[in-house]
Homo-oligomer: A and B are copies of this chain.
Amino acid sequence: MNIIVQKYGGSSVSDKNKIIKVAKKIKQKVSLGFKLIVVVSAMGKTTDNLLNLAKEISKNPNPRELDMLLTTGEQMSVSLLTMALHEINIKAKSLNSFQAEINTLGNHNNAKIKDIKKDKIIKFLKENDVLVITGFQGINPNGDLTTLGRGGSDTSAVALAAALKSNCEIYSDYPIYTIDPKLYKNAKKINKITYDEMLEMASLGSNILHSRAVEIAKKFNVKLYCASTFSNEGGTYVISNTIENPVVTGMSLMKNQTRVNITNLPENHPLLHGIFENLSQKFNVDMISLISIDNKINVSLSIIEEEMKDFDKYLQKALQNIDNSKVSYEHGYVKLSVVGIGMKTEKGVASRFFKSLQNIPIKLVTTSEIKISCLIEKENTAKAIDCLVKEFDL
């Protein structure tokens, strides 16, 4: 069997007409001789609406029950898309996580796929042209429904492709651009990008692909193709190597950043190491910068604004036995990053980066082999994007 996995995002199935269009797109592929596994997200704003319904009843809904609620969104969309496929004479069957035997581990609301029993899927695929499978979810060892976190349907699709050793096509509003076209309208489409670059871009705020999906694709060498569902402009291949690499392939923006300043920490205090290790496990801590002056340590780092309350609660408790330490928070920042595998070999990228941003105050910086990130005031976002786009021809 020649199998392809396709994934359609929520905005691609947000109403009747789009569902019918997606069914026709699937039929085209079937007519080329492929058997398809189609992973679908919940229709449009369904997940948000369900979440709001839960919040009306409980400020902190029980995570197991929240997963039980949220997973209905995908079960709705898989059944509707399957009906639309039947209407155009495609043999199709929908499967939820119990039926497709997608097993997970880990926490509710943020589980990880453990394994997929492919025998049953192969059996159903022999009897049908298309299987439409609920994305974003799986069953944990207790038999409970678990969700994979926002964007988790990408991960479902790539995990299915890995299990079936097939290629994976991710359809959403856009292919992958050098920068989100909502932020910079003349952004260019990227034709090819490496897993490592995509991984950096995904974790740095690009919403195109779930970063765990890219991790799995890299680990199992699944060829990814990301494209727009309803346009024919062509998409982006995410692969292990590209022949020629631009220095900077793309740019990501992460909004709502808060800078945390922890000052006056005693050097070599036995508790410090443990505190920071715990913090980075519990929160999305990034861009840690540490300066030691007069046997005192000052630490700056960035977190997502909405995590601040919990972060502060945890930090105050952790620091209660460390005299004179002080914590302050500054809001209103964004994190802007450029990513490119070419940085590994090309010298002077950092200096080009800082020179192009010379009129913009930079509050924190972190770098890796293939990316440079900086924290700037949100008012400077458009200006900074403009400078970097010009400098690196994005």
Show the binding face of A for B, using Cβ within 8 Å.
Answer: 16, 19-20, 50, 53-54, 56-58, 61-62, 64-66, 68-69, 71-72, 75-76, 78-80, 82-84, 86-87, 93-94, 96, 98-99, 143-145
Contact = CB atoms under 8 A, between A and B. Distances in A.
Nearest to A99: B143
Contact of A98 (B57, B86, B93, B98): B98
A206 to B, nearest CB: 31
Contacts of A57: 16, 19-20, 80, 83-84, 87
B96 A83 contact: no
Contacts of A66: 79, 83
B79 A69 contact: yes
A102 to B, nearest CB: 13
B79 A65 contact: yes
B68 A79 contact: yes
A58 B75 contact: no
| Most chain B CB neighbours (cut-off 10 Å) among A56, A62, A79, A86 | A79
B68 A96 contact: yes
Given A61-B83, A98-B98, 17 more contacts: A50-B76, A54-B83, A57-B84, A58-B83, A58-B84, A58-B86, A64-B93, A65-B79, A65-B94, A68-B75, A68-B79, A69-B80, A75-B75, A96-B145, A98-B143, A99-B143, A99-B144
A44 to B, nearest CB: 12
Contacts of A96: 68, 145
A86 B99 contact: no
A83 B83 CA distance: 32
A332 B148 CA distance: 55
Nearest to A77: B69
11 contacts: A50-B76, A53-B80, A57-B87, A62-B83, A65-B86, A66-B83, A68-B79, A69-B76, A72-B76, A75-B75, A98-B98
A143 B144 CA distance: 17
